[in-house]
Structure 1
């Protein structure tokens, strides 16, 4: 495990797992949302994001948490030696997004981009969750199988698997 891509639906626990992996392995964590957004919550321009992403991929060790633009996601899948797909039930993801909102009203969630509205981000997460079946489906699983021939692939489907992943695999 040197180049780790962590991905899944909004509210699936990607940031928490990625943070725990980084702590356990000493590998630098790159949360895409923190790279994609400026301090005031606005998105950086696409060219700057692509450049930052390429710089991360060219380094020897990394953990990248998130999805981002599809072309870059596909490059990340190819470059990673370890793929971690968090595929929790939708009801769990909706609950985690709601829980993040409630906690975020008191303090900024860890890994949340500085200056970004927790309410706006939550609404975007709900909208994305509604559209997720268009992407996270059998075709995606086939693509994941095709790209995973020489990689370690983990598919996490329960909160107990999620909570015990670092202990079980590091």
Structure 2
């Protein structure tokens, strides 16, 4: 395990899982929101996001969580592990609301400085509008993962906890081929 791709819909826990995996494996964590947004909630251009993603993909090690699906093919080609957090909207929406309330006015660790948490009606509308189409797209993408890549579709908090426990145990036994740090 040297390059991990984490995908899922908003509120599924991608950032949290990436941070936790980074703590366990000592692999560097990259959050797509650092690529998508510049300080002050300024959205970067598509070519700039493509370039920044390509720079990450070229690195020897990473845990890369999040979207920008136009670069998923390149990310998948470099990844050795893919994790899909496939949680239902009834679990994700309360997480999104809680995240907003808990961090309101402050910048989350997975966001660039100058992007404080806020209520964004358009974001919540987008989450609602794309709940089915995005899940279908993720399902299609997951089906495209070539044999030989380690892949995990986690559908509940319990499955995520079990995965992390197994990962932690594998690291303790030295079974992942991680670099010694």
Q: Residue 149 of structure 1 corresponds to which residue in structure 2?
A: 147
Please tell me whether the aligned partners of residues 5 and 82 of structure 2 are also in contact (alpha carbons under 8 angstroms).
yes
Measure, in 1, the Cα distance between the counterparts of 2:105 and 2:139. Answer: 37
Q: CA RMSD in A?
A: 2.0
TM-score (norm 1): 0.88
1:58 and 1:36, CA in 2 relative to 1: closer, same or farther beyond 3 A? same
Please tell me whether the aligned partners of residues 8 and 138 of structure 2 are also in contact (alpha carbons under 8 angstroms).
no
Deviations 1:144-165 (A, max 9, x none): 2232312011111011222342
Shift of 1:93: 0.4
1:38 and 1:142, CA in 2 relative to 1: closer, same or farther beyond 3 A? closer
Please tell me whether the aligned partners of residues 37 and 43 of structure 2 are also in contact (alpha carbons under 8 angstroms).
yes
- Unmatched 5+ stretches in structure 1: none
Q: How does 1:76-155 map to 2 (within 5 A)?
A: 76-105=75-104, 107-121=106-120, 123-137=122-136, 140-155=138-153
1:25 and 1:119, CA in 2 relative to 1: closer, same or farther beyond 3 A? same
Measure, in 1, the Cα distance between the counterparts of 2:121 and 2:33. Answer: 13
Deviations 1:99-125 (A, max 9, x none): 101101264332133222523556414
Give the paired residue count.
168
Q: Residue 162 of structure 1 corresponds to which residue in structure 2?
A: 160
Bigger RCO of structures 1 and 2 (CA < 8 A, at least 6 apart): 1
Q: Residue 61 of structure 1 corresponds to which residue in structure 2?
A: 61
Shift of 1:27: 0.8
Measure, in 2, the Cα distance between the counterparts of 1:126 and 1:18. Answer: 26
Measure, in 1, the Cα distance between the counterparts of 2:43 and 2:53. Answer: 14
- Unmatched 5+ stretches in structure 2: 169-181
Please tell me whether the aligned partners of residues 33 and 112 of structure 2 are also in contact (alpha carbons under 8 angstroms).
yes
Measure, in 2, the Cα distance between the counterparts of 1:51 and 1:112. Answer: 19
Q: Residue 174 of structure 2 corresponds to which residue in structure 1?
A: none
Q: Residue 6 of structure 1 corresponds to which residue in structure 2?
A: 6
Please tell me whether the aligned partners of residues 5 and 79 of structure 2 are also in contact (alpha carbons under 8 angstroms).
yes
Q: Residue 49 of structure 1 corresponds to which residue in structure 2?
A: 49
Greater gyration radius: 2
Q: Residue 176 of structure 2 corresponds to which residue in structure 1?
A: none
Q: Residue 175 of structure 2 corresponds to which residue in structure 1?
A: none
